[in-house]
Every structure is written in structure tokens, then in C-alpha cells.
A and B are shown apart, each in its own frame.
Chain A
Amino acid sequence: MKPITVAVTGLNASDNPAPGVPVIRAIRQGADRECRIVGLAYDALDPGNYMDGIADDVFLMPYPSEGASVLYERIAYVHAKTPIDVLIPCLDAELPAYLKISDKLRALGIATFIPGEDQLNLRSKARFYDLKEKLHISVPKSIAIADTSSIHKLDEQFDFPVMVKGQFYDAYIAYSPMEVEGHFQRIRAKWGAPVIVQEYIPGEEYDVVAVGDGKGGLVGAVPMRKMQLTDKGKAWGGITIRDQKLHDFIVDAMSKLKWRGPCELEVIKSSDSEDLYMLEINPRFPAWVYLSVGAGRNLPWATVRLALGEKIETMPPPEPGVMFLRHSFDQICKLADYEALAIGGEHRRDKEM
């Protein structure tokens, strides 16, 4: 088979790690052909830049805020140095820019497999309730508020408590309009307006990593329950589950969304009614995606193959009871490698050979 080169972003591996390193591990494990990996990092101090057996080459990238044209120029440069066949963006903030340049990347010979603009917009927290109104996907009732004027009327629209969420991050529970206002001010200062007020659903939360084929089909999904959390509520351990009702819910949502590419779905099962509600759709792999490999459903490698235009059979639900526990370790790095990234913006291992 023809060797391929896959570029992967998101090589940060802190206590709130990006998905790039586990995505690369999954690709390396799944690849049935010679596969070169190019890491696209935002910081010379991203630990994934230095891990043995992860990226063959690493290039520093401009931040998404610098715009799509700057991003394209940098990728064209990288592509000239080490031709890329497939590129997998792994961070939420990158997706809009990669979407804008996906046609130009295709013209260069670089394939992606990412959701379209409509899907990206629909899953944004500010428009999340549209999923229910337009697609009839069960989501908690929510409204986006841009200022404090509507807060005093919230008790007419919601039973308290409610969740108050930033459009990108942060979520707090509020038991009164007064508490909503406090959280609103804090979140707006940090993440900007609008701030989302959402119906609070007490229940058990599940995370699902899934890949959609873009035509309404589910390529594969691995559901898990978090077993231990960081102080930011991120999974530091989890276990695969099997729940037919949850699986049907995911199949239905992916069908209605016609989701293309990877995503992480956060779903809650109401403790009162056992009804399922979609809480969030993140348009990229989660950092715990390596669990999909452990569960025999290598979704990152499937995504590479889909990007290459290969046909993938629908994967059956995985076995329940596959656990992961995350750990951290101290990565020893060569000063010369750090220098190469910090000064030259690239580190190519083949130059060492």
C-alpha cells in the first residue's frame, strides 16, 4: 500500500490535555500501511512535540485568531517540506479556520474529514436549542442572554435551579436569578456574551466519541462513563458502557445532523424519567479517544481512511467494561529540539538520521 503522511494538531498534554497525542497513538496502532505523522503544535513547550513514537516532524502553527489565510500559508509551507495526505484538526477553536480552507487544502492534495459549516453552527452553545426546534433532538431548554435585562424574567421561563454556561467553557449551577446574574457577569468577563442559561437536568452523564459519515450514518461510537475527574470536571478515568437506548439516541442524532467526522457527545440520562438529553456536541475527538482503540473501535484510524475516500463498514457497539486511567509523566526533552522549535518553528526527526 502507498505510504501516507497524516498531520495532527493539538499536542498539548497538560492536566487538561488536547486530543492530538492519543489520536496519533491510535493512528500508529491502526495503520495498515507505512504512516508518517506530522505534529502541528501551537507551543514549543507542548509535550507531544518531544514524545518518542508520536510525531516524526513537528511544526509550530499560527494561532487560529490570526486567520484562515495565515493558517493556509503555514500549512502550504509544511506541505512543501513534508507532503501531507490527511490532516486531522483536534481543537474546537481551529475548526472554523480549517473549514474555510478545506477546499484549498484539497487542491493541494490534503484531505480532511470535518463537519460542515451548518453543523458547526448548530452545535454552538448559543444555538444549541435549535437542535430541538429544527431537528427534534432532545436537548435541555436553553436561551442565550447578552445582557442582564432578561435575567429577572428567568423564573417565568425556567424552574430553578438552572445551568449558566459560557459559550466556550465554564458552567455553573444557579438557584435563583440573583445567582444567575453573578455567574453571568463572571462568564461574560471571561468568555464574552452571549451567556447560555439552560434547564438543569439531574441525572447520570455519559460521554460518547463518535464518527459520522456525513450522510447521516454512524461509522462508530464508543460510550463511556467517567470514573474519576480532574478539578475541571475532565475525565481522568472512564469505562465503556453498553446501553441500547443511548446507542439509538446517538444513531438518531447523527442521522439528523448528518455529522461528518469525529465528535464528542455529552449526554445526560435524567434520574427522574430516564430520558436522554444531549448536553454538548464537541466537533473533534476527545482527549480520551484512545479508549476507542482499547475497546476495539479505532475511530481516529477510521477517520484517516474516510478522509482518503476509503469505505468503512459500520462498527458495532463496543464491549462494555473496558477501562482507562490517565496518568502523567515527566517528559525528558533535548534542549536542541526545543531550540529547533522555539527558534526555527520546526523539528524534523529525519534530519537526525
Chain B
Amino acid sequence: MFENLALSENGFLFDSRTGSTYSLNQTGTFLLRKLIDGELPERLLKLLGSDFEVAEEVAERDIEQFLFRLKDLKITNEQENGE
């Protein structure tokens, strides 16, 4: 599903299908890495909470916004509809 995405440890993301590149912050890199590794979006809240000190409601909102942003940029949406 994410085979077109190359994400470095530093948060540099390359979408080989579109040629677009992005810079992700530490939590964005963490979340997308988990998705690329096969974690379900529903598990992200728990995973983020175990690695970062963050209030649950803040984390929930941030994850929701992050997933929306990925979809808006067609980073995830395109993957789902692409092939």
C-alpha cells in the first residue's frame, strides 16, 4: 500500500509515484513509519502515547489532522485508489 513512499529516519519523504518530497517532523515521521510498517490507523494513538509524552486528547487531534493532511496531499488517498 505504501510501496511508493521512501521515508528516511530524518523525516525526508519521497513519493516515487509523483516525484513529490516532504519534510516531516519527529511525530509525523513516527506516525507514517508505523503506517508504512503495517500498523492500522486505529493503533496510532496508543503507539504515540507510549513513545511521546502527550495528552491523549491532544494526540488524538494531532493524529486526526495528520491523517487528513496525508490524504489531502494524496499521499495515502492515492495509494488506496491507485492500483
Binding site for B on A (CB under 8 A): 204, 206, 224-225, 227, 238-245, 274, 320-321
A225 with B19, Cβ < 8 A, contacts A242-B4, A321-B14 known: yes
Mark out the residues of chain B between 1 and 17 whose CB falls within 8 Å of any chain A CB in the assembled complex.
4, 6, 14, 16-17
Binding site for A on B (CB under 8 A): 4, 6, 14, 16-21, 78, 81-83
Q: In the complex, which of the residues B14, B17, B78 has the most CB atoms of chain A within 10 Å of its own CB atom? A: B17
* A244 vs B78: C-alpha distance when bound (angstroms): 13
B19 and A224 contact, CB distance less than 8 A: yes
* A239 vs B4: C-alpha distance when bound (angstroms): 14
In the complex, what residues of B have CB within 8 A of residue A240's CB? 19
Expressed in whole angstroms, the minimum distance between the Cβ of B65 and any Cβ of chain A is 22
A274 and B81 contact, CB distance less than 8 A: yes
* A243 vs B82: C-alpha distance when bound (angstroms): 9
In the complex, what residues of A have CB within 8 A of residue B83's CB? 244-245
* A241 vs B15: C-alpha distance when bound (angstroms): 8
A320 and B16 contact, CB distance less than 8 A: yes
B82 and A241 contact, CB distance less than 8 A: no
In the complex, what residues of A have CB within 8 A of residue B14's CB? 320-321
* A261 vs B20: C-alpha distance when bound (angstroms): 30
* A291 vs B12: C-alpha distance when bound (angstroms): 22
A241 and B81 contact, CB distance less than 8 A: no
Expressed in whole angstroms, the minimum distance between the Cβ of A276 and any Cβ of chain B is 12
Q: Which residue of B lies closest to A224 (CB)?
A: B19
In the complex, what residues of B have CB within 8 A of residue A320's CB? 4, 14, 16-17, 19
Q: Which residue of B lies closest to A240 (CB)?
A: B19
